[in-house]
Amino acid sequence: MRMKSIIALVVAMVFTLGMVSWTFAADVKGTVTKVAGMTVTIKDAAGKEVNVKVSNAKDVKVGDMVTVKDGMATKEAAPAKKKSSSGGY
């Protein structure tokens, strides 16, 4: 019984550590919704919010479009605003 518990614990730890490293390895692109210390919250195109630790958090602010890769946030150009057409001349 004790051996089964140890094996289950080891499997759970390996799975958890694998998922953590996979999450940190992913690149993130979206809009900054919050900056707290070195942690930046980014909302991606699907509406999912992701917290990432970046080394240059002081360079970004809420509302910036950024791409985070290898712990560095790079500002993206803001999308061009659509001109509204009123139909008149």
| Structure confidence by residue, pLDDT tens digits, 20-52 | 444 454 688 999 999 999 889 999 888 999 888
Give the tokens for residue 67. Answer: 């791409």
Q: How many residues does the chain have?
A: 89
Instruction: In whole angstroms, give the CA distance from residue 58 to residue 18.
Output: 30
Domains and CATH numbers, the chain: 2-75 (2.30.30.140)
Hey, what long-range contacts does 73-77 have (CB within 8 A, 24 or more apart)? 73/32, 73/40, 76/29
* Vertex 59: Cα angle to 53 and 60 (nearest 5): 70
| Structure confidence by residue, pLDDT tens digits, 56-80 | 888 999 999 999 988 888 998 766 6
pTM above 0.75, yes or no: no
